[in-house]
Amino acid sequence: MGGVSEGTSRALRECAEVDVPPVVGAAPARWGVVRATAVTWADHTGAEHTGPPGSDLRELLPGRAIRSISQHRGVTHTTSNYCSSTDRASLACESWLEARWLRLLDHDPDVVAIRTQPLILTGTDVDGQFSHTPDVLARVRGGSARLIDVKNPTVVRHPDVLRRARLASAAAERLGWTYYLLAEPPSTRMRTVGWLSGFRRWLTGQDLFPELLAAAAKPVRLRDLWAPFGEDVQVRPATYHLLWWHRLLMDFDSPLSERTRVWASPLPYRPPHADTDPAFARTMMGV
């Protein structure tokens, strides 16, 4: 799955709006060094825990969001809930932009868990103590994690945003994670993955999976893959389902069309919960 995951990692790197090292660069010089001093998270019962950021928390996965998202008259962002196939859960998100990045993370085969509003970071600079709640924590295979903030492009370079981003970057460095400050996702990849996400749940065409995978043993254009199936209306949804679950692969940074080349994955992908929840695997993946 390296190619798929590398595509998402590349999108994160390329879409990161600013470099946010702990030592302030573009932000006001008076801030000096931002030091991360504490991490607060909630377990599955809602009980809160606090500890210093360090290697002993490298594998931290909060049980639930540390705070609820404000929804009231006059709010300017579009709050929503994203249904995560990675977590089998509904994730609250503060904006349309955040929901779009959640979709890309959900499609990344190296991401094994996603949390929104995952923890509160506390830190200090020359102005004193302050705190920040990042938007997303995505745990990845191998034990590391991606800590992410998603901001509207019009405010992503605002001094207050950069100040909090530097706190998150400092904490991520001590935790052995990677931090990203993001705005717009890559448009082509977003359109492709967004379309495929509509076919995450297996509804029909399961009997076509073996034939499609065998026909794609070598790279083949979609129109040639589909041709032998004639007018079977199930073949396209079945193909898109296999592409979402990485059983078929393609260049996800390219537009999806009948000319797109696809090929069968040499190692059929299974989500991290397929063995612990086989009913979910049967319902969502058709396996």
pLDDT tens for 103-119 read 999 999 899 999 999 99
Closest CA to 7 of 132, 270, 182, 193: 193
- Specify the higher pLDDT residue, 32 or 148: 148
Q: What angle do CA 5, 268, 100 make, to 5 degrees?
A: 35
Task: Find the largest Cα–Cα distance for the chain.
Answer: 69
Q: What percent of the chain has pLDDT over 70?
A: 82
| For helices 187-197 and 96-107, angle between their N-to-C axes, nearest 10 degrees | 70
Q: Name 263's Cβ contacts closer than 8 Å, sequence gap at least 6.
A: 216, 217, 218, 219, 220, 248, 249, 250
The DSSP annotation for 221-261 comes to: EHHHHHGGGTT-TTHHHHHHHHHHTTSEE--TTS--STT-E
Q: What letter would DSSP give residue 145?
A: E
pLDDT value of position 67: 84
| CB hemisphere CA count around 34 (13 angstroms) | 32
Q: What percent of the chain has pLDDT over 90?
A: 62
Tell me what the mean pLDDT of segment 137-155 comes to. Answer: 93
Q: What letter would DSSP give residue 59?
A: T
Is there a contact between 87 and 117 (Cβ–Cβ < 8 Å)? no
Q: What is the CA radius of gyration of the chain?
A: 21
Return the domain boundaries, the chain: 2-57+76-182, 187-285
Tell me what the mean pLDDT of segment 201-207 comes to. Answer: 80
pLDDT tens for 216-225 read 999 999 999 9
Chain centroid to CA 139: 9
Tell me what the mean pLDDT of segment 64-74 comes to. Answer: 75
Tell me what the mean pLDDT of segment 71-78 comes to. Answer: 65
pLDDT tens for 27-59 read 444 446 789 999 999 999 999 999 999 988 999
pLDDT value of position 163: 92
For residues 213 and 98, give the distance between their C-alpha atoms in angstroms, rounded to a whole number: 33
What fold does the segment set 2-57+76-182 form as a domain? Answer: Trna Endonuclease; Chain: A, domain 1 (3.40.1350)
